Structure 1
Amino acid sequence: MSRLVRAAAAVTMGMGVIAGAPGAAAADPTPAQAKAKLVKLNEQADRLVERYNQATEAHKKARQRYEKLETELERKTAQAEALRGEVAEMAVNEYRLGASLGWQRYVIQGRPEAVLGSMATLEQIALDRAATVRAFEAATKELRERRDSAKDVLGEADRARDDVRDDKAKVEKLVSEQMKLLRRLGAYKSGNTRGTGATYTGPASGNARQALQFAFAQVGKPYRYGGTGPGSFDCSGLTQAAWRAAGVQLPRTTYTQWSWGSGRRVSVSEAQPGDLLFSRGLGHMGMYVGGGKMLHAPQTGDVVKIVDLDAYWRNRLIGAIRP
């Protein structure tokens, strides 16, 4: 933030010179006003982005579950129909052979005990297949009920996604304002989607070290809301990708990662390298790297970077999770 303030001060000083000319605008922000406005924009965007991500992720999972059940239902239904066809064919053949030969059909087959055995076998096969059909039909009925329930959930997810379309429009507007302000302050960073980042050399070990090695390699890549890599990230997309590289499957959003780690929470003062750090309102998050520093994907117009946990950040953070 101190670099941003210095940039804001330089730009505003330049604006002050221009403001002294006749006809110049007098409404340009002071450094403090520019900083405050950007902070407010970032916080608003964080909340909306995570709400949008949450609705999008819920819709994705609901659709996957529905499609999986629909495919399974189609397979079970096809199996039941095939078995039903075999039973029907046996019944038709039994009727046709019985009608043409009557009792003579069994006489010409040989000894009475063999005839009775054949009849019993045929009847048992028919009964077994009929029982199998009934079992498949029962399973199909249960599947159909689960599919219909999943369809209802998908419908709710559809409506939730529709609800956040307005949020998406608001996010786009906030993004535009952020970019405009950052460019005015000379602080806009486009980043490098193919950058090789930095190298982690800290003391972490095990999967925390693997997660940090991945995260450091993303330093300098641009922030993009909804981004999950490899060229750009938002805050929770970065932490998810980093810990996935370490073999730990985190949920997609800050809200779900915070909920996932309910039994793994520690205070910010107890954070160890690799731990996840969360801001108030769960609109933003990052990774603790040790030495009082955090790695995160900040906001539009900025890049994945490492920052000091200064007074500003320590006042925002509410807790940490150790994956």
Structure 2
Amino acid sequence: MPALATHRKPRTTRPQSSAVGVTTAALASVTLLSGQSAQAAPAAPAPAAKPTVEEIKEKVDQLYREAGVATQEYDRAKEATDRQRRELAKVLDDVARRTDEINTSRRALGAYAAAQYRGGAVGPTATLIFADSPQDYFDQTHLMDRLSQQQREAVRTYESQRAAAAKQRQEATRSLAALTASQNKLRRTKQTVQGKLAEARTLLAKLTAEEKARLAELERKREAEARRKAEEKAKAEAAAKAAAEEAARKEATPTPTTPTPDPTPTTPPPTGDSSYATKAAEALAFARAQIGKPYVWGATGPESYDCSGLTQAAWRAAGVDLPRTTWDQVKVGTRVATADLLPGDLVFFYDDISHVGIYIGGGKMIHAPKPGAYVREESIYYMPIYGSVRPA
């Protein structure tokens, strides 16, 4: 038995690679299947974090600002459209008048042609009427030498009127094209304004009662801060006025060492431009009468206004014509610092100059704020100030 044992074929150990291979293949299959499962049913993305009330307020304010910019674009496009419509109407009136004149001249030339026909032949005047270009016909045939002075004058008038009418028709075509372009821009900007306002309303409508209360609290804090700054400016203005009055009183009061003044009373020198103050008072009286009327973008009164529509109407009541948009109103008159504001001055807001109000003193203004609001008095510090102008 032992001898047989020595000749027995040794038992070999099966290599482990095949097991490892099976394991690797199994892992690969699992990985492949898991990858296919991931492709077939991707994991749902994590829900976006709900914006805070502060973020919603910032977004709504931004939308209102963008709507304000679009409103100024709308106002400018509407002004251009109205102007071009008037110009086109004038051109068309001129074309109609020229047409009447041409018809009158044509009848006069027709009378000459009829007279020649009755004389027994179709004369040169008749030939002229049916020519495409009477002047070219004259240049070719020297017909002018064969017409009377009155006939020649009638022909020249007719040719001049034809040329003028052709030029006016070209002008009418250009005016119509410009009007069409302005109308298209008007429609686009109107859609932009409506889109911005609709988006703002949607954001506000989604707020819960708690979020609306939080939003109202943020607004109250903003208004309180604006009032505080206005009160500081009011105190500064009162102090400056008292100092000016004291200086004027001292100027008017004689000192003991001076000779006895003339008994005729003296009037203290004015502290400002009295003519401007008069006009400003008229503009402010108009603006105050509009308090409580709704803001409507693109409106110029009398039942509703946008911001620049209100300032334009107020100063028009004082006899001063302002441009339609904030972008153009800021260019008129004299620039003044916030510290030097006088009642009646125009105060502009934001870097894009998309809002304007009319200063009433004491750090306050009258303005048409935004959609959903009404013409009211408010601190000029409620919004970031761009600059101010004295329009007259």
Give 1 or 2 for the bigger CA radius of gyration: 2
1:56 aligns with 2:78: yes
- The residue that corresponds to 1:173 in the other structure is 198
1:301 alignment counterpart:
372
Structure 2 residue corresponding to 1:160, chosen from 171, 180, 185 = 185
Indicate yes or no: 2:293 matched with 1:268: no
CA distance in 1: counterparts of 2:307 and 2:89, whole angstroms: 30
Task: For residue 236 of structure 1, give the secondary structure of its aligned residue in structure 2.
Answer: helix
Q: CA deviation at 1:285?
A: 0.8
1-structure distance, mates of 2:90, 2:189:
26
Name stretches of at least 5 consecutive residues in structure 1 with no aligned partner: 1-25, 100-121, 189-202
- Taking the aligned partners of 1:178 and 1:287, their CA distance within structure 2 comes to 31
Q: Secondary structure at the match of 2:119?
A: helix
Name the CA distance, whole Å, in 1 between partners of 2:203 and 2:355: 16
For residues 328 and 63 of structure 2, what CA distance do their matches in structure 1 show? 23
What percentage of residue pairs aligned between the two structures are identical?
Answer: 34
Per-residue CA deviations over 1:95-140 (Å, capped at 9, x if unaligned) read 31365xxxxxxxxxxxxxxxxxxxxxx9222222222222322322
- In the alignment, is the contact (CA less than 8 A) between 1:295 and 1:307 conserved in 2? yes
Alpha carbons 2:71, 2:189 under 8 Å: kept: no
Structure 2 CA distance for partners of 1:45 and 1:73, relative to 1, 3 Å: same
Contact 2:307–2:367 under 8 Å retained in 1: yes
Match of 1:233 in 2: 305
User: Which amino acid in 2 is paired with 1:235?
Assistant: C
Q: Distance in 2 between matches of 1:166 and 1:42?
A: 14
> Judging changes above 3 Å, is the alpha-carbon distance between structure 1 residues 128 and 175 closer, same or farther for their aligned structure 2 residues?
farther
Change (3 A) 1:142 1:124: same
Q: Contact between 1:45 and 1:175, CA under 8 Å: does it hold in 2?
A: no
Query: Given the two structures, how large is their TM-score scaled by the length of structure 1?
Result: 0.69
2:160 equivalent among 125, 135, 138: 135
Q: Greater shift after overlay, 299-308 or 60-69? A: 60-69
State the match for 2:354 in structure 1.
283
Matching residue of 2:285: 213
SS at match of 1:248: coil
User: Matches of residues 105-120 of structure 1 in structure 2 within 5 Å?
Assistant: none
Note the alpha carbon deviations across 1:287-315, whole angstroms, 9 max, x for none.
Answer: 112222211100122111111223x43x3
Corresponding residue of 2:3: none
Shift of 1:77: 1.7
Matched, 1:87 2:109: yes
* Structure 2 portions without partners, runs of 5+: 1-48, 122-146, 220-273
Equivalent pairs counted in the alignment come to 258
Tell me how far apart the structure 2 counterparts of residues 179 and 244 of structure 1 sit (CA, whole Å).
37
